[in-house]
Amino acid sequence: MRKIVQAVAVTGILAVALSACGSKSDSGTGTNNTNPGSGGKALKACMVLDVGGVDDRSFNQSSWKGMTDAKQANSNLAISYVASASQNDYTPNLNAEVAKGCQTTIAVGGLMTDAMIKIAKKNPTKKFGIIDSNTGQPNVYGMQFNTAQGAFLGGYLAAGMTKTGKVATFGGVNIPPVTIYMDGFWEGVQYYNQQKNKNVQVLGWNEKNQKAGTFANSFTDQNKGKSISAAFAQQGADIIFPVAGGTGLGAGALAQSSGGKVNVMWVDTDGCVSAPQYCKYFITSVVKNLADAVNKYVTAAASGAFPTGTSIGTLKNQGTGLAPFHEFASKVPSSLQSELTQVKADIISGKIKITSPAQPK
Amino acid sequence: MSVTDKQPVDPESSTVHEVVEVPVSRRRRIGTGIVLAVVGLFCVLAFGLGSHAGYDATFGLSSLAAAHNLPDVVLPARVTAILLGALVLVLAGWQLGRGFSRRQLRWVLGVTIFCFVMAFLCWAMTGTKGTTIDFLGLLQNTIFTATPLILGALAGIMCERSGVINVAIEGQMLAGAFTGALAATVASSLGVGMVAGMVAGSLMGALLAVFAIRYVVNQVVLGVVLNVFALGLTGFLYDALMQPHADTFNNPNFFGPKQLPLLGDIPFFGPLLFDANVIVYLTYILIIAVHVGLFHTRWGLRTRAVGEHPRAADTVGINVLRTRYVNVIAAGLIAGLAGAYLTIGTIGAFSKNISSGKGFIALAAVIFGRWRPLGALGAALLFGFADALQTVLSIVGTPVSIPSSFLAMLPYLATLFAVAGLVGRGQAPAADGVPYVKG
């Protein structure tokens, strides 16, 4: 019996030590005290990240960058984040941030919509922000992005660059903030086909069939991302557009294995900055300017005027678009580059209509 | 059976169960026959007549990387599906009329599953005219997904055969994945990373062994705790070391494929089996080693004796606790290798929770494979195949559109049905999870 007690005791100590590690890591990287900028009004702003961690090289990372950017300009901001380990953490995390006394809490990701609505109703005096969602609540500011516009350019570019006549895209999970990219990509390819009388195929997604398509069902499983990319390559695709957070890095690994026969178009952030090890294989990235939207919101909130309603990032206001070509700058023909400029102008002017059902309204 | 047998002549007869071949009961025979008949009819009606007439099913058997290739196999989809269904119906008829023996039935079920899958593929390719499924690629992806599961399952088998339940495969994999990436980067050597990953796995195994054997902790609870421990520890170290200094700590590159001479040149099988990386080759060796070791060596006999009836083993002078320590720690080496595969075998970087539940699938493969290496191999390959198939189906599309969320269930569904049909009730080692206290 004594031995069992001993063992339980040691196990308990391990568990306590472990949880101590966990909380330390959060507050350690979560509070940023560098570079005090010019003084502004104080505000305690908190962020609840989606699964994948703050360093997912994708949406969590760029949302958090918006907070640190705002902090650099206004040293009186107190910023912190808490990461979600699973979808079950959304509600407790949001509750904890409210209880901590955060004056505004930003939820990163449309998957938190339901949890956010509940908590916003329960705390009508608190202010909230949410990315990729329009909750309709008076105290929740929605930051949405019509990334179909940026992805449209990506699709057009991919169609112009493919040598095999097949390009591919896959998602993390079948939800509107993911499929909006896939829709835009698909439409861009169709537009290219129509303009040039070509027949470039899109594997893994068809806007006309929203229930089907290729999904990893994970934003973290890089091995799954690699096996999906391998299947695309086997079916003949030579450009892959993963819309799956960290899972998408598996596409980079596959491109590396293929020795450059397969290339990748990165998503959300500029891939050459967020995942530089695969920069060689990134044609470009379809970016979503999360950092800018978060920065604007937090800065406005700190000035005392909490924005209300929603904002929509578009090509016109630089909320979405294509990142620089980096190592592909010399490989993308200049005629294709100028066509892209024209397509972009046509989308902004409304000459090209984007039909994705996932677009924010 | 007696544990003191010095000569384990037939591995089948040296375990408690399956000593005598029990004849299949009439009820079971008819039941199985009806199931086969339903499967056959389904192939004919749904996959045969449900497919577009006149469309071809093209199976790609060539690899771009290989020197010698087989030509693509082009089959008329509808006719092929109907013929495959008819073959299953013939088997069903024989089963209903005369009945297969237990041993034959395994082959019959294997053939049935093969026919069903091929008929399904034929049907799936009639969605759009001219669809090709890269069959070789499909099988390559199967091995890609199955490798860590096979290794994890082998680790589980070695533990459980000696009487220690190993729920901590997931944690051992994580430790191996993390340490593999870290050591390979720091030492700039993938070989060092692989060995370090294995050692890390065995250290996790040693923790399991000490608490389970020395401190007699409930082994299932212990396994769960170790998994959480590994997840937290690797996550913390990732935040502290790898994330801020990715180039110095988390940039290990990964093992590229090495084509074996001669074997690698065989069309189809060369690129499938003999153009892989070193961890996959090690996996082949380990499957054979664990199988032969368990059923044909003195070590194996002792391990199984300790797992089935530790008191009897002790009576004849086998050191029960030592045997268990050795097995659990050696199994940790294999689970660590499975982890190393996930980072330096495929991706070339660690990320939090990179194992994503693969350790638990491996644990399921142990049980589905009835605590046998070859059984677990089958279970892991089946899961890998269903996973690869799911991806390909979502790419090529099917005549009747299947929602992606439904397709995602396919690997789990296929495993469940195959287990229910092929494996039936398994029997764990009698002393699995029971601590041995002398006296």
Are residues A192 and A69 part of one domain? no
Residue A1 lies in a domain: no
What distance in Å separates the CA atoms of residue A261 and residue A264, rounded to the nearest whole number?
10
Residue in A closest to B141 by C-alpha = A227
Half-sphere exposure of A113 (CA within 13 A, CB side): 13
Same domain, A204 and A280: yes
What distance in Å separates residue A68's CA from the closest CA in chain B? 16
What CATH number is associated with residue A272? 3.40.50.2300
The residue of A26, A222, A243 whose CB has the most chain B CBs within 10 angstroms, and thus the best one to mutate to test that interface, is A222
B254 vs A contacts (CB less than 8 Å): 253
User: Which of A31-35, A213-217, B352-356 reaches the highest mean pLDDT?
Assistant: A213-217
Mean pLDDT of chain A, nearest integer: 87
Query: A275 to chain B: nearest residue by CA?
Result: B246
- Helix (H, G, I), strand (E, B), or coil: what is residue B57? strand
pTM greater than 0.90 (yes/no): no
Over the stretch A43-65, which tens digit does the pLDDT of each residue have?
A: 999 999 988 778 777 788 889 99
Cβ <8 Å between A235 and B392: yes
Q: What angle do CA B110, B112, B118 make, to 5 degrees?
A: 105
- Span B33-57, pLDDT tens digits: 898 999 999 999 988 888 888 888 8
Stretch B370-393: mean pLDDT: 92
Instruction: Report whether pLDDT(A32) > 70.
Output: no
Are residue A40 and residue A124 in the same domain, yes or no?
yes
Q: Left (φ > 0), alpha (ψ -120 to 50) or beta: where does A304 sit?
A: left
Is there a single domain that holds both residue A136 and residue A71?
yes
Q: Which residue has the higher pLDDT, A10 or B432?
A: B432
C-alpha distance across the termini of chain B, in Å: 24
Lowest-confidence region among A338-347, B16-25, B334-343, B408-417:
B16-25
d(CA B85, CA B79): 10
Q: Scanning every residue of chain B, which has its alpha carbon at the shortest distance from the alpha carbon of A217?
A: B408
Residue range A234-260: average pLDDT?
A: 93
Q: For residue A336, count other CB atoms closer than 10 A to its CB.
A: 14
Listed by number, the residues of chain B in 253-272 with a beta carbon closer than 8 Å to a beta carbon of chain A are 254, 256
Residues A136 and A172 reside in one and the same domain? no
Q: Are residues A92 and A138 in the same domain?
A: yes
A345, part of any domain: yes
- pLDDT for A19 equals 43
Confidence of residue B17 (pLDDT cuts 50, 70, 90): low
The reply to whether A40 and A139 lie within a common domain is yes
Region B328-353 average pLDDT:
94
Cβ atoms of residues A209 and A175 within 8 Å: no
B48-67 residues touching A, CB cutoff 8 A: 60
In this complex, do B216 and A3 lie within 8 Å of one another by their Cβ atoms?
A: yes
User: Cβ of A222 and B354 within 8 Å?
Assistant: yes
Q: Is the pLDDT of residue B5 over 50?
A: no
Is the residue at A27 inside a domain?
A: no
**Contacts for B108 with CB less than 8 Å, ≥ 6 apart:** B36, B91, B95, B100
Total count of domains within chain A: 2
State whether A155 and A54 are in the same domain. no
pLDDT tens string A77-86:
999 999 888 8
DSSP codes of every residue in B83-109: HHHHHHHHHHHHHHHT---HHHHHHHH
Taken as a whole, chain B contains a residue count of 439
Cβ contact A64:A50 at 8 Å:
no
- Provide the residue range defining the domain that includes A163: 148-288+330-349
What is the Cα–Cα distance from A357 to B51, expressed in whole angstroms? Answer: 31
Do residue A130 and residue A157 come from a single domain? no
> In chain B, where are the structural domains located?
26-130, 137-377
Helical pair B135-161 and A222-234, crossing angle rounded to 10 deg: 150
ipTM of the complex: 0.86
Write the burial class of residue B278 (CB in 10 Å: 0-12 exposed, 13-18 middle, 19+ buried). middle
pLDDT band at A21 (very low <50, low <70, confident <90, very high): very low
Same domain for A104 and A194, yes or no, is: no
Q: Do A101 and A207 have their domain in common?
A: no
A209 lies in the same domain as A67: no
Residue A284 lies in a domain: yes
> What does the pLDDT read at residue B1?
41
Please report whether residue A13 resides in a domain. no
